[in-house]
């Protein structure tokens, strides 16, 4: 009877709790975050925008760029067309690491490696120092869960001579190329990636000395290093977390000679052509990595998240507000959708519905998800899949993407996004808040904007390209959205810009 009871119990467990059985029998999934610097939602041949029926719609910029491997990844997985990031780089990168909105973690501007760049009216105590050894971070949690954590490429988590400058201080086992800088001194191996007497050595990319003096383009060198460390992890039978953060497609716009001929007759200026070669080189890196996973026979158990860190900075030579990310308005650093909406693709490197981890996190291949999500959502999604708990006391703003990855709507999910930028860069001192189709932008110093003093209000459902400011004509909706914005700022303990002379915080004002 004892044997029979055990058999019955085992069968019942299998029927009633298959996820436990799968989890117990499966290897931990490998995770790759493939992050591209300054890549907006239009800097690709993959159409992220959709028509009225929700089908992908191509625009002229999609015809200009060549990204066949992004197309390949999109066919394997799901792409989001309302995926948001902070409008400059360091805030997004720290949001990925912590699961928190920039308004909460207080790194609200890009980090200058050598000086506090709060701006003349920026918060005096904003988190310029970035991350440190004591912070709860995604790689540190993954490492504690048995993962080999690999950082390749741009860090920009902290200034020079502070702990965040070295990714190994925040939980990575391996660091190649990551330091305090936000852009490379050069993409050329012949110029030692910036460590050259004719270049600014303070912006040299470290850890790539074996390629110095060669014709190896920076994007290729980082790809070779990523592949090598993935191979080592697989050989050691260790699950890996690879954070491959390319310096591309950030300035300087050094032309990648491997792809220059593709754009010579495009009619674009030299910098725009060089930018397109950076995009194509990044895309080749993605394809090489996918091929490498297949060669190592780990594709079925490897999940890839592909995304940009902020809106486009493509040097297209136009001053018009929509030219860089057309038809979206704005670009990197701005409060418009072109500044904060980024490409996002999630895919198993080789779909197989029988794989236990793919059963746990199914992804609908070829689908487009229009529900809003953001960079801080990666933190809980990755941790849950790996089996690691979020530490008690660590507040996050991210929500799991599980339901959205199936292509379905998540009815329990708030469709809100707060982009807080209390600094001056290309656009001065603003907070932007989205709730569903409605979006409000608050300008802290009305003398510095020309549109409707403090406020801009857009209905993204009727006006997705932000051409009609409704702040004056829809005062009821404006007041509702501003009440929500203020509540969200208080909830996240956001910091405010300050008066230049007194340093007193400049608080948000409700419309009359």
d(CA 344, CA 3) in angstroms, rounded, equals 51
Percent of all residues in the chain with a pLDDT value above 90, rounded to a whole number: 85
pLDDT attached to residue 295: 98
| Strand bridging mode 240-246 / 78-80 | unpaired
Q: 131 and 157 in contact (C-beta within 8 Å)?
A: yes
Evaluated on CA atoms 43, 298, 151, 227, the torsion sign reads: negative
Name the pLDDT band for 497 (thresholds 50, 70, 90).
very high
Name the pLDDT band for 53 (thresholds 50, 70, 90).
confident
User: pLDDT (tens digit, 9 = 90+) per residue, 59-102?
Assistant: 999 999 999 999 999 999 999 999 999 999 999 999 999 999 99
Percent of all residues in the chain with a pLDDT value above 70, rounded to a whole number: 91
User: pLDDT (tens digit, 9 = 90+) per residue, 114-158?
Assistant: 999 999 999 999 999 999 999 999 999 999 999 999 999 999 999
- Angle of helix 89-98 relative to helix 378-386, nearest 10 degrees, comes to 30
Picking from 330, 341, 329, the residue whose alpha carbon sits closest to that of residue 44 is 341
**pLDDT higher than threshold 50 for residue 14:** no
What mean pLDDT value characterizes the chain?
Answer: 92
Mean pLDDT check: name the lowest of 163-172, 426-435, 462-471. 426-435
Q: Which helix (H) or strand (E) covers residue 82, if one does?
A: none
Q: 40 and 336 in contact (C-beta within 8 Å)?
A: no
Query: What DSSP string describes 340-396?
Result: HB--EEEEESS--TTSHHHHHS---TT-EE-S-EEGGGHHHHHHHHHTPPPPTT---
Q: Which helix (H) or strand (E) covers residue 441, if one does?
A: strand 438-443
The mean pLDDT of 21-46, rounded to a whole number, is: 84
Name the pLDDT band for 507 (thresholds 50, 70, 90).
confident
The mean pLDDT of 399-403, rounded to a whole number, is: 97
Q: 508 and 490 in contact (C-beta within 8 Å)?
A: no
Q: Which phi and psi (to 5°) does residue 311 adopt?
A: -65, 175
Which has more confidence, 202 or 274?
A: 274
Q: 86 and 419 in contact (C-beta within 8 Å)?
A: yes
User: pLDDT (tens digit, 9 = 90+) per residue, 217-260?
Assistant: 999 999 999 999 999 999 999 999 999 999 999 999 999 999 99
Q: 110 and 89 in contact (C-beta within 8 Å)?
A: yes
Question: Token pair of 392, please?
Answer: 């008690």
Three-class DSSP labels, 285-330: HHHHHHHHHHHCCCHHHEEEEEEECCCCCCCCCCCCCCCCCCCCCC
The alpha-helical segments, DSSP class H, found in 77-137 are 89-98, 102-105
Evaluated on CA atoms 414, 420, 426, 429, the torsion sign reads: positive
- The verdict on whether omega for the bond into residue 249 sits within 30 degrees of 0, i.e. cis, is yes
Residue 302's beta-bridge partner residues?
30
pLDDT attached to residue 200: 61
Evaluated on CA atoms 255, 257, 263, 264, the torsion sign reads: positive
pLDDT attached to residue 453: 63
Question: Token pair of 360, please?
Answer: 């746990």
**pLDDT higher than threshold 80 for residue 10:** no
**pLDDT higher than threshold 90 for residue 441:** yes
User: pLDDT (tens digit, 9 = 90+) per residue, 417-428?
Assistant: 999 999 987 778
Q: Is 75 helix (H, G, I), strand (E, B) or coil?
A: helix
Q: Which phi and psi (to 5°) does residue 273 adopt?
A: -65, -45
Name the pLDDT band for 12 (thresholds 50, 70, 90).
very low
pLDDT attached to residue 160: 96
Contacts of 387 (CB under 8 A, 6+ apart): 23, 28, 145
| Strand bridging mode 240-246 / 148-153 | parallel
d(CA 436, CA 456) in angstroms, rounded, equals 16
User: pLDDT (tens digit, 9 = 90+) per residue, 157-189?
Assistant: 999 999 999 999 999 999 999 999 999 999 999
Q: 41 and 48 in contact (C-beta within 8 Å)?
A: yes
Torsion of CA 249, 250, 253, 256, to 10 degrees: -30
Name the pLDDT band for 8 (thresholds 50, 70, 90).
very low
Q: Which domains does the chain have, with CATH numbers?
A: 29-405 (3.40.720.10), 427-491 (3.30.1120.10)
């Amino acid at each position: 009877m004892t044997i029979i009871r055990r058999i019955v119990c085992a069968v019942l467990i299998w029927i009633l709790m298959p996820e436990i059985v799968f989890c117990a029998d499966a290897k931990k999934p490998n995770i790759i975050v493939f992050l591209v610097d300054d890549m907006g939602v239009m800097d690709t041949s993959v159409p992220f925008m959709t028509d009225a029926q929700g089908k992908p719609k191509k625009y002229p910029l999609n015809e200009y760029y060549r990204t066949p491997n992004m197309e390949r990844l999109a066919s394997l997985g799901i792409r989001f067309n309302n995926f948001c990031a902070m409008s400059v780089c360091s805030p997004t990168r720290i949001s990925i690491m912590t699961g928190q909105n920039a308004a909460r973690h207080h790194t609200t501007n890009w980090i200058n490696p050598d000086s506090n760049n709060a701006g003349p009216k920026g918060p005096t105590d904003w988190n310029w120092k970035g991350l440190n050894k004591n912070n709860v971070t995604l790689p540190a949690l993954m490492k504690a869960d048995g993962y080999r954590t690999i950082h390749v490429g741009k860090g920009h988590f902290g200034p020079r001579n502070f702990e965040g400058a070295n990714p190994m201080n925040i939980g990575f086992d391996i660091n190649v190329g990551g330091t305090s800088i936000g852009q490379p001194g050069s993409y050329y191996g012949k110029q030692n990636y910036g460590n050259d007497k004719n270049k600014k050595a303070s912006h040299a990319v470290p850890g790539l000395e074996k390629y110095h003096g060669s014709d190896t383009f920076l994007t290729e060198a980082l790809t070779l290093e990523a592949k090598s460390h993935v191979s080592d992890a697989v050989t050691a039978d260790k699950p890996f977390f690879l954070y491959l953060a390319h310096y591309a497609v950030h300035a300087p716009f050094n032309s990648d000679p491997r792809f220059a001929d593709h754009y010579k007759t495009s009619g674009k200026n030299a910098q725009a052509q060089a930018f397109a070669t950076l995009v194509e080189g990044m895309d080749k890196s993605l394809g090489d990595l996918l091929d490498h996973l297949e060669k190592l026979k780990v594709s079925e158990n490897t999940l890839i998240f592909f995304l940009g860190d902020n809106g486009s900075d493509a040097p297209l030579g136009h001053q018009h507000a929509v030219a860089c990310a057309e038809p979206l308005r704005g670009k990197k650093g701005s409060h418009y959708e072109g500044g904060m909406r980024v490409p996002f693709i999630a895919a198993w490197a080789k779909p197989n519905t029988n794989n236990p981890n793919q059963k746990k996190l199914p992804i609908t291949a070829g689908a487009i998800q229009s529900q809003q999500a953001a960079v801080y959502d990666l933190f809980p999604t990755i941790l849950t899949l790996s089996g690691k708990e979020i530490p008690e006391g660590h507040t996050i703003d991210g929500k799991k993407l599980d339901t959205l990855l199936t292509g379905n709507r998540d009815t329990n999910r708030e469709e809100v996004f707060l982009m807080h930028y209390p600094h001056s860069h290309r656009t001065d001192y603003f907070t932007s808040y989205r709730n569903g189709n409605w979006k409000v932008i608050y300008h802290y110093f009305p003398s510095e904007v020309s549109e409707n003093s403090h406020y801009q209000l857009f209905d993204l459902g009727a006006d997705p390209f932000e051409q009609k400011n409704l702040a004056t004509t829809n005062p009821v909706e404006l007041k509702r959205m501003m009440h929500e914005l203020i509540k969200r700022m208080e909830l996240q303990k956001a910091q405010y810009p300050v008066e230049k002379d007194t340093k007193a915080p400049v608080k948000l004002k409700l419309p009359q």
